[in-house]
Structure 1
Amino acid sequence: MNVLVLSAAAKVLLVRAFREAAEPRGGTVFAADLTPDNAALFEADGAVLLPRSDDAGFGAALIEACRRHRIGLVVPTRDGELEVLAGLRPWLAAEGVTPLVASPEALSACRDKRRFVEACRAHGLETPRTYPAGERPERFPVFVRPVQGAGGAGARRIDHPADLPRDPDLLVQDLDTAPEYTVDALMDLEGRPLQAVARRRLQVRAGEAVKSQVVDAPELTYPALRLCEAFGLVGHNVVQAFYEPGRPPRFIEANPRFGGASNLSIRAGLASPERLLQMLAGESDAAAAPRAIAHGLMMLRYAEDRLVTPAELAAVAP
């Protein structure tokens, strides 16, 4: 029941949630990052330093860390490490380790926003109207985003035809002015839907919600679970959509990992860390049982300082 959270950085609340889930089972939680000066490493039971996920030595270092700390579950938190972790699945499985990551095919469908739109349409799910590469929109304003990218980088509104770049690597869609929502969707380790929590993004900074509120919207959460099942996603996933009551949601992306504000859904009752450990323990019925959700619960994000001594920094082992 030991857990390793990758790219832990400042994800203190996620590490804390896994510690609370693992402790009653006698498990410990380790946090990993490139350098010791990351706050979440000091929230974990133990910390390890790993190379970048694109480093040739990452796989060997990760497997050795899992072996040394008797890790049962590896939790990625950054898009860039997902495909690498998926490729390491056979070697991790040989060590008795479960990486919380979908197949390479599923990851590709989520990473490429044009493929994401095509997959949604193939499964009867709506997206904002999307223009083929090179086709000029019929009306303005439109919204453009890089076909591959994260964190809202490069996403912007275009009001006039003369301002629209001729760039095949940009996805061009009709501007959707409905409120934007996030759905935290929990799947089991075989990709079956369990439960989802919707939260309205009230204030966003650098692509991440800093104010958000849980809402009761089954007409949004059920299609989001269907999307995750159709794509073959596992574990905790974050789905973005435009939504207003009385209309089908228009999905814009799916992130096959925990999100920066997923702690709100976890605390509202989704309890993903606890249920993931139940799945690992073979307690499938307990993990699948729906949880009561605290609709209306709000997250107001703020910064907090973590103070560490030179001795504490030096104690973080590579």
Structure 2
Amino acid sequence: MNVLILSAAAKVLLVQAFQAAAHPLGGRVLAADLARDNAALFAADQALILPRSDDPSFVDALAQACAQHAIGLVVPTRDGELAVLSAALKRLAAQGVTVLAPSLDALAVCRDKRRFTQACRDLGLATPRTFAPGETPDRFPVFVRPVDGAGGAGARRIDHPADLPTGKDLLIQALDSGPEYTVDVLMSLAGAPLQAVARRRLQVQGGEATKSRTEDVPTLTDQALKLCAALDLVGHNVVQAFHDHAGTRFIEINPRFGGASNLSIQAGLASPERLLQMARGQDAEAARSRPIAYGLTMLRYAQDRIVTDAELGAL
């Protein structure tokens, strides 16, 4: 079974993790992006250039690529491509392709932070105090985020009422100073909760953790599994939350691999291996919980990939 990773960009570690799972099975890992000058394309077994996900030709091009290269599993990595993939789930499934994207209904809750907050409340799960549209906070500082946004874009702290922006497209919450965690949650392809790993975000740049540590926090991981199951999510998901002695306050879910998910993969969650098992029908083996190494710290650094004009031109 071959794997196709979309919007591969610089996600070399994700490509390598899937290679480690696919190669022993005789499979290959292909990486796709818009442009040739992306590092992950050179780490993959084969590179593909595909249209933008909002291009009307994208789904046809993706379906053709899957047929041509015997792709059995498609792995999205960017929020912006999830909706079009969710809409194409049945079409791609008809040609034997599993896509790690939730239903459109589940995706809508994940994308809309106000709906996500309400979903948490309905499940009896806590979030930072959230102010209704038009409601003036009675205490500052607060934290403002776009209702529909990713990667920390537009998120900021507001210290004074005079600086508070207006607009229904903004979510205003009480500023939470508790430790921030990401939980990597593995779900079955049918939406059953399998296993989760919590990692504390020690340093964050541009919305992604550059230093992170795995920690054994069962109350947090259990709630994250419950939340993902209630939302009918599939595959690998990343859940953001604050957690301390006062409990857990959920922030958001990204129904895809995260930028630092490699830490949880290497700690024992083994999502790529288990997702391939699920795609091959080995559900019982994939569902078996794995031992997790806690106290592992990820220290991210940059690495250069030097390529020639000839190598770029060959893609």
Return the TM-score normalized by structure 1: 0.98
The residue number in structure 2 matching 1:6 is: 6
The residue number in structure 2 matching 1:190 is: 190
Structure 1 Cα separation of the partners of residues 31 and 166 of structure 2: 43
The residue number in structure 1 matching 2:250 is: 251
- Helix, strand or coil: the match of 1:137? coil
Are 2:288 and 1:289 equivalent residues in the alignment?
yes
The residue number in structure 2 matching 1:309 is: 308
Structure 2 Cα separation of the partners of residues 251 and 181 of structure 1: 9
Are 2:51 and 1:54 equivalent residues in the alignment?
no
Structure 1 Cα separation of the partners of residues 165 and 280 of structure 2: 52
Structure 2 Cα separation of the partners of residues 124 and 307 of structure 1: 51
1:50 to partner: Cα distance = 0.1
Per-residue deviation, residues 240-278 of structure 1 (Å, max 9, x unmatched): 00001x332100000000000000000000000000011
The residue number in structure 2 matching 1:241 is: 241
The residue number in structure 1 matching 2:17 is: 17
Any gaps of 5 or more consecutive residues in structure 1? none
Structure 1 Cα separation of the partners of residues 264 and 85 of structure 2: 25
Per-residue deviation, residues 127-180 of structure 1 (Å, max 9, x unmatched): 001010000011111111111111111111111111111222110111111010
Aligned 1:80-119 pairs, distance under 5 A = 80-119=80-119
Structure 1 Cα separation of the partners of residues 27 and 155 of structure 2: 41
The residue number in structure 2 matching 1:167 is: 167
The residue number in structure 1 matching 2:78 is: 78
Aligned AA (2:269)? L
The residue number in structure 2 matching 1:40 is: 40
Structure 2 Cα separation of the partners of residues 286 and 315 of structure 1: 39
Aligned 1:80-229 pairs, distance under 5 A = 80-229=80-229
The residue number in structure 2 matching 1:298 is: 297
Structure 2 Cα separation of the partners of residues 217 and 19 of structure 1: 30
Structure 2 Cα separation of the partners of residues 247 and 280 of structure 1: 39
Structure 2 Cα separation of the partners of residues 51 and 63 of structure 1: 12
- Helix, strand or coil: the match of 1:299? strand
Aligned AA (2:290)? R
- Helix, strand or coil: the match of 2:222? helix
- Give the paired residue count: 315
Structure 2 Cα separation of the partners of residues 128 and 250 of structure 1: 6
Per-residue deviation, residues 23-42 of structure 1 (Å, max 9, x unmatched): 11110000000011100001
Runs of 4+ in 1 over 6 A off after TM superposition: none
Structure 1 Cα separation of the partners of residues 160 and 314 of structure 2: 56
Structure 2 Cα separation of the partners of residues 311 and 159 of structure 1: 53
Structure 1 Cα separation of the partners of residues 62 and 115 of structure 2: 31
1:4 to partner: Cα distance = 0.2
Structure 2 Cα separation of the partners of residues 93 and 158 of structure 1: 46
Structure 1 Cα separation of the partners of residues 208 and 242 of structure 2: 15
1:14 to partner: Cα distance = 0.2
- Helix, strand or coil: the match of 2:234? coil
Q: Which moved more, 1:259-268 or 1:304-313?
A: 304-313
Per-residue deviation, residues 86-112 of structure 1 (Å, max 9, x unmatched): 111122112110111100011000001
Per-residue deviation, residues 261-303 of structure 1 (Å, max 9, x unmatched): 0000000000000000111111111111111111000100000
Aligned AA (1:103)? S
Structure 1 Cα separation of the partners of residues 26 and 153 of structure 2: 41
Aligned AA (1:123)? L
Structure 1 Cα separation of the partners of residues 255 and 77 of structure 2: 9
Structure 2 Cα separation of the partners of residues 188 and 300 of structure 1: 29
Are 2:269 and 1:270 equivalent residues in the alignment?
yes
Return the TM-score normalized by structure 2: 0.99
Report the RMSD for the aligned CA atoms in angstroms. 0.7
- Helix, strand or coil: the match of 1:311? helix
Any gaps of 5 or more consecutive residues in structure 2? none
Per-residue deviation, residues 58-82 of structure 1 (Å, max 9, x unmatched): 0111001000000000000000000
